[in-house]
Structure 1
Amino acid sequence: MNYFAHLHIASITNTSWVGNLLGDFPVDVNSLEPDLFAGWRLHQQVDVMVDQHVASVAFRSIPRKGRRRFSGIIQDIAMDYWLIQYWEKFSSVPLTVFCEQAVSGLVMDKNRSPERLANMISSLEGSNWLSSLGTLDGVDRAIHSIMRRWRHGKHLQDFVDDLPNVIEQAEQPFLLLYPDLLDFVDQEMKKAEVTHNPG
């Protein structure tokens, strides 16, 4: 899952908006304040669950020109795309309202964010582009953003060249995976409650 899904999970678990994005940014985990650490930890748990889910394994196994070892990156972005397409299935909050809430929540903790995340939050303040992650152009921009800053970025070009087809391939895996992910997150939050309130 990419930014949008992690923000959705932050909203339904009442955990830190910024904390739930920190898993995608370099941070000193030992220096995180408790609320940020809880969000960071949840992000890590989500990433592991998604990576191991049978639907993710199936998506990565689809024959295509792009290298299998990098297909998980594309899957994360495509999952955001499909979450936005199916938004009303997973949330009663209107998409525009959610995007506003997410940015407001991120801005509150911008001063506790690493520089690259703080810059992204500033970008969202200037123009809230979260909903664009549910468009082909938005997916393209997200992939190119990774390509520019990642030393192996050139290997994602094959996926970009076949982007409409790759996104279509991610629809059924998303529909299989996301309900399971929300159930997983719910169970993890209940475990955390028991740990903090053993009586």
Structure 2
Amino acid sequence: MNFLAHIYLSGDSLKIQIGNFIADSIKGKQFESFDDEIQKGIRLHRAIDAYTDQHPIVQQSTERLKETQKRYAPVAVDIFYDHFLAKNWENYHQEPLESFVNNFYENIQQYHDILPSEIQYMLPYMIRQNWLYNYQKMKGIERVFEGMNQRTSFQSNFLQAPQDLLTHYADFEQDFTLFFPELISFSKDFEKEI
């Protein structure tokens, strides 16, 4: 899952949302330097990633991209799934997507000083280009993959990914629709345990 899903799966706690949002930038036990709620978000993020990576439906989505996206297939699937979450947002949340992402953008800036440097650098671009809201549009997805293509140090085929999505659109959407309720249930159960 990518940014939007991780924030959504964090529930209403801003600090858990922040931890879940920054978790990819926190290595090893560095998370122990954060307050308890942010640590919960980091743990939740790691659990979501582990659950997602081993899930047969997600593996099916990933397999569909192996030829074109190779080792980046799981990354592309994460973005595709955020697209379907944004596109079908009203099925998962009562608050409109635009309001939800604007509240997140506003609230996370209060914690700017504790964010990892790479997140501090990225966040203004994310807000200005409204990544989270624009995941619902193909233009937004294209922009995400263009940015990822520029940032990756290894050869990728990210510029092909939007076409891959369109080619298998119904299949990816069906995979997401089947998988996401299971992930919601897993996340809620995990959050109760931490």
- Give the alignment's TM-score, normalised by structure 1: 0.85
Please list, as runs of the form range in 1=range in 2, the aligned pairs for 1:139-178 lying within 5 A after superposition. 139-178=141-180
For residue 23 of structure 2, what is the aligned residue in structure 1?
Answer: 23
Question: Any idea what SS the aligned residue of 1:11 has?
Answer: coil
Paired amino acid for 1:18: I
Cα contact 1:133–1:139 (8 A) shared by 2? yes
For residue 134 of structure 1, what is the aligned residue in structure 2?
Answer: 136
Cα contact 1:95–1:131 (8 A) shared by 2? yes
2-side partners of 1:13 and 1:166: how far apart?
A: 35
In percent, how many aligned pairs have the same letter?
Answer: 23
Paired amino acid for 1:177: F
1-side partners of 2:15 and 2:32: how far apart?
A: 18
2:115 to 113, 116, 129: 113
Moved more, 177-186 or 142-151: 142-151
Unaligned runs of 5+ in 1: 193-199
1-side partners of 2:171 and 2:82: how far apart?
A: 14
Please list, as runs of the form range in 1=range in 2, the aligned pairs for 1:33-44 lying within 5 A after superposition. 33-44=35-46
2-side partners of 1:111 and 1:55: how far apart?
A: 38
CA RMSD, 1 decimal? 2.2
Please tell me whether residue 8 in structure 1 is matched to residue 13 in structure 2: no
Query: How many residues are treated as equivalent by the alignment?
Result: 192
For residue 85 of structure 1, what is the aligned residue in structure 2?
Answer: 87
2-side partners of 1:58 and 1:187: how far apart?
A: 24
* Shift of residue 166, structure 1, vs aligned partner: 4.6
Moved more, 107-116 or 72-81: 107-116
Cα contact 2:5–2:82 (8 A) shared by 1? yes
Question: Any idea what SS the aligned residue of 1:152 has?
Answer: coil
* Shift of residue 144, structure 1, vs aligned partner: 1.9
* Shift of residue 161, structure 1, vs aligned partner: 4.7
Please list, as runs of the form range in 1=range in 2, the aligned pairs for 1:22-101 lying within 5 A after superposition. 22-27=22-27, 28-62=30-64, 65-101=67-103
2-side partners of 1:50 and 1:76: how far apart?
A: 9
Cα contact 1:17–1:105 (8 A) shared by 2? no
2-side partners of 1:162 and 1:156: how far apart?
A: 10
Question: Any idea what SS the aligned residue of 1:10 has?
Answer: coil
2:185 to 178, 183, 186: 183
* Shift of residue 127, structure 1, vs aligned partner: 5.0
Paired amino acid for 1:155: N
Residue deviations 1:14-66, cap 9 Å, x none? Answer: 64332111222245334333222211111100011111111111112226641
* Shift of residue 133, structure 1, vs aligned partner: 1.1
